[in-house]
Structure 1
Amino acid sequence: MLSIIHNDHKNIAKLLNVLTDKLSRIKLEDEVDYRLVRDIVSYLQTYSGKFHHPLEDRIYEYYLKYRVVDDSVANRLHDEHQHLEIISAELKEMIDSILLDAIVSRDDIIEKLQQFVNLQKAHLDYEEVEILPAIKASLSADDWRHLEQNWHHDPQEDPLFGRTVADQYKSLAKRLSL
């Protein structure tokens, strides 16, 4: 299960690199393919919301319930997941407005896209540096078997990085050379 999460994080990092490039282009007032930006945000919002974050939350909740003795440990992970969901929705709405030829301030899109990228990167770092190592060190083989029995998602079903690329992500996959 941790390998699925680590692999998802690598894929998310690839997408964040593309968004960082697009952000630089926006700042330079270069032409930007906002459909590509929307596809990335949409993918991150959809895949993370349906599969990635629920998997992390399930493992983390188990960890908190059965392995953390200190009651002062807050569920920061879940809170960050909720915050990322809100920021993703706001950014997607802004990009959809641009694609519908609405007037959106360049400063506003730069600010929202920068906020999105920064939050995503900070969240990945938090998970990779603090959360996942603590979980890995604490959970036993029996814990992992229990968690795996209750999780039924095949990573090959990933609509972008899985076995088959969904139609809505074909141009994004091409851009990423998948």
Structure 2
Amino acid sequence: MHPMLSRLESDHQRMLKMLYTLNAEVSKFYGLHRGKADVDTILSILDYIQVYPEKWHHPIEDILFAHLAQHPLADQHAIAEVQRDHQRLEALSDRLVQIFGELRLAQSKAGLSVIRLCKHYYTRQISHIHDERRLFLDAEKMLTADQWQRIEDEIEHYLDQEAIDERDAYLALLRQPQSASSTATTVHESRK
């Protein structure tokens, strides 16, 4: 696998772990998992899902998919759909952050409609990752060494050392052993 695809897949693995935790927390609202749902954990996960992909993951995929789209055998519909999904999922993330922020302020439980929305979000995110993985396989087969080099050059131009340092600092905050509540606050504060 091309190193850039390995990095994107590593991002996907991290995202899947976050999504599984999100699903477990939401499931606590209606008793499918033990314990009380932690809204701060949910907000921390949603914050990650908003920040990391929008700043450091999707722009890289956009560069990759733009090059892949130039290949005559590329699935143009699948590429366009994945890119539209980015916008739809970002809007859905925004909505869930708003809902859970209001639930935290009101100190109330999520209702059935919120739980359904979360389940929809969870399944759409996972489906989106699988769709992207199929495109990664296409890129691996279709792109030449020359095209990969041009992609890497564009990525280096977009993701300069300052952006890499910012990304690494953001990820380090996520790895710190602290409560979900303080992680959500710390991560949110680092975005300002």
Q: Separation in 1 of the partners of 2:165 and 2:120?
A: 28
Q: Equivalent residue for 1:109? A: 114
Checking the alignment, whether the CA contact within 8 Å between 1:47 and 1:158 is kept in structure 2 is no
Equivalences for residues 1-178 of structure 1 within 5 A: 1-28=4-31, 30-65=35-70, 67-69=71-73, 73-74=76-77, 75-101=80-106, 105-128=110-133, 130-152=134-156, 153=159, 154=164, 157-159=167-169, 162=171, 164-165=172-173, 170-172=178-180
SS at match of 1:55: helix
Checking the alignment, whether the CA contact within 8 Å between 2:28 and 2:36 is kept in structure 1 is yes
Aligned-pair CA distance for 1:157: 2.3
Aligned-pair CA distance for 1:84: 0.6
Q: Is there any run of 5+ residues in structure 1 with no aligned partner, and where? A: none
Checking the alignment, whether the CA contact within 8 Å between 1:159 and 1:165 is kept in structure 2 is yes
Alignment RMSD (CA, Å)? 2.9
SS at match of 1:68: coil
Q: Which amino acid aligns with 1:165?
A: L
Q: Which amino acid aligns with 1:171?
A: S
- TM-score, normalising length: structure 1: 0.83
Deviations 1:7-31 (A, max 9, x none): 0011001111101111221121852
Q: Separation in 1 of the partners of 2:73 and 2:121?
A: 33
Give the structure with the larger helix fraction.
2
- Paired positions, count: 170
Q: Is there any run of 5+ residues in structure 2 with no aligned partner, and where? A: 184-192
- TM-score, normalising length: structure 2: 0.78
Q: Separation in 1 of the partners of 2:131 and 2:178?
A: 31
SS at match of 1:147: helix
Checking the alignment, whether the CA contact within 8 Å between 1:5 and 1:52 is kept in structure 2 is yes
Identity %: 23
Aligned-pair CA distance for 1:73: 2.2
